Amino acid sequence: MYIEDDPANRILVRRVMEAQGYRVLEAENGLQGLEIAQREQVGAILV
């Protein structure tokens, strides 16, 4: 999961990670990240 408030940065990181075969979950802030982590299996969190 990638937590970042800047949409442009989220797009960039998602594209790079997906090109390497990763599934990327995105959150705009820490609270949203916690909510996603509670319902999804998250292997790593980038902030």
What are the 10-residue block averages of pLDDT along the chain, 47 residues in total? 98 98 97 97 95
Whether 46 maps to a domain, the answer reads no
Whether 34 maps to a domain, the answer reads yes
Give pTM, 2 decimals.
0.87
User: What range defines the domain where residue 25 resides?
Assistant: 2-39
Q: Within its chain, how far is the Cα of 39 from the centroid?
A: 14
Q: Scanning the structure block, which residue is given the tokens 């075969």?
A: 21
Tell me how many domains the chain contains: 1
Whether 12 maps to a domain, the answer reads yes
